[in-house]
Amino acid sequence: MAAEKMALAKAINESLRRALESDPKVLVMGEDVGKLGGVFRVTDGLQKDFGESRVIDTPLAESGIVGTAIGLALRGYRPVVEIQFDGFVFPAYDQIVTQLAKMHARSLGKVKMPVVVRIPYGGGIGAVEHHSESPEALFAHVAGLKIVSPSNASDAYWMMQQAIQSDDPVIFFEPKRRYWDKGEVNPEAIPGPLHTARVVREGTDLTLAAYGPMVKTCLEVAGAAAEEGRNLEVLDLRSVSPIDFDAIQASVEKTRRLVVVHEAPVFFGSGAEIAARITERCFYHLEAPVLRVGGYHAPYPPARLEEEYLPGLDRVLDAVDRALAY
């Protein structure tokens, strides 16, 4: 496969295909991942080419999907399981938190858990309830899990490769509203480390830190701010656990202002963690308190209200103005 432009969902599909081809121990499991190719078609065509024993349609039971994946990993397999939507992960939460996350530690390192849990997450697609949530903070709080979220096709391709190769369990949050965004994917490229943040737009006045679906939003914000003479830096965190605090610190030492943007509720969210640590690390560099833009402390609203709930251009720009006003 030469470098080509493809949608983010297709990039994950190509990445899974490559993993299935290169390692017979890799399995793809989940509800509807086989013939249908997943409700978002992320696994399209994989069962046709790799068979039902490699690309496994499972019973409709999320705890069972993760629990059996743990058993398969104990047997030497590397399962990549799909949770159909963010809000459906909770029946599997017990298996992920009490079992998957802790198996390596409690076995004193004797047992590896190379399981990837794919979760299409976030809103903005006009879905019904339980189909638009961003539960990453609930997982980041748990030691033993790694959490990543790509924002573009190239990262989606490469981060999936790296997640599958990791001997640790990785919760792979896929920004479902960016599934159809196209970007260049070069399968010959050499990727950077999985948990490293990247500056996607250089700037001097303020840092916008985001991951997954909000990176694109932040780039739009930076574009709009540029028209007003503001020079914003945009940082794509790429990883929520661990978080690349060194990269955030480096950026903040330059810009002296930080706004963190995510779709998840602000309260106890990843923005709170970033704000606290960056305040500690950069206390004498900061010209303004670290501000956060995200969801409210309310259930994800019905689709007709999600534009109000989700951080959009205006809400982020408002936070930028407030930070710059200090």
Partner 1 sequence: MTVESTAARTPRRSASTKSTAGKRTTARKGTGAAPGTDPQLVQLLTPEGERVKNAEYDKYVAAITPEELRGLYRDMVLTRRFDAEATALQRQGELGLWASLLGQEAAQIGSGRALRDDDYVFPTYREHGVAWCRGVDPTNLLGMFRGVNNGGWDPNGNNFHLYTIVIGSQTLHATGYAMGIAKDGADSAVIAYFGDGASSQGDVAESFTFSAVYNAPVVFFCQNNQWAISEPTEKQTRVPLYQRAQGFGFPGVRVDGNDVLACLAVTKWALERARLGEGPTLVEAYTYRMGAHTTSDDPSRYRGDEERLAWEAKDPILRLRRHLEASNHADEAFFAELETESETLGRRVREAVRAMPDPDHFAIFENVYADGHALVDEERAQFAAYQASFADGQGD
State the Cα angle at 178 between 150 and 40, rounded to 5°.
100
- Please say whether the beta carbons of 104 and 111 come within 8 A: yes
Q: Which stretch binds partner 1 (CB under 8 A): 69-77, 119-127, 172-180, 256-264?
A: 69-77
Residue 24 or 223 having the CB closest to partner 1: 24
The residue within the footprint of partner 1, chosen from 55, 73, 282, 291 (CB under 8 A), is: 73
Name the burial class of residue 106, with classes exposed (0-12), middle (13-18) and buried (19+) by CB atoms within 10 angstroms of its CB. Answer: exposed
By CB under 8 A, residue 144 contacts partner 1: yes
Give the pairing type, strands 116-121 and 170-175: parallel
| Smallest gap from residue 117 Cβ to partner 1 (A) | 14
The residue within the footprint of partner 1, chosen from 146, 201, 238, 256 (CB under 8 A), is: 146
The residue within the footprint of partner 1, chosen from 1, 74, 128, 305 (CB under 8 A), is: 74
- Please say whether the beta carbons of 32 and 38 come within 8 A: yes
Q: Is 20 left (phi over 0), alpha (psi -120 to 50) or beta?
A: alpha
The residue within the footprint of partner 1, chosen from 68, 152, 217, 270 (CB under 8 A), is: 68
By CB under 8 A, residue 59 contacts partner 1: yes
Q: What residues form DSSP beta bridges with 5? A: 184
Token pair listed for 128: 């019904």
By rule CB under 8 A, what string of x and - marks binding of each residue 246-285 to partner 1? ----------------------------------------
Q: Which stretch binds partner 1 (CB under 8 A): 7-15, 208-216, 240-248, 299-307?
A: 240-248
The residue within the footprint of partner 1, chosen from 36, 39, 111, 272 (CB under 8 A), is: 111
| Smallest gap from residue 245 Cβ to partner 1 (A) | 8
Residue 151 or 166 having the CB closest to partner 1: 166
State the Cα angle at 283 between 278 and 238, rounded to 5°.
15
Question: Could you give the CA distance from residue 245 to residue 237 in angstroms, rounded to a whole number?
Answer: 9
Q: Quick check: helix, strand or coil at residue 57?
A: strand
By CB under 8 A, residue 53 contacts partner 1: yes
Question: Could you give the CA distance from residue 152 to residue 9 in angstroms, rounded to a whole number?
Answer: 10
Residue 112 or 285 having the CB closest to partner 1: 112
131 is catalytic: yes
Question: Could you give the CA distance from residue 46 to residue 258 in angstroms, rounded to a whole number?
Answer: 42
The residues carrying an active-site annotation are: 131
For partner 1, the binding residues (CB under 8 A) are 53, 58-59, 61, 63-64, 66-77, 91, 94-95, 98-99, 102, 104-113, 143-144, 146, 166-168, 195, 241-245
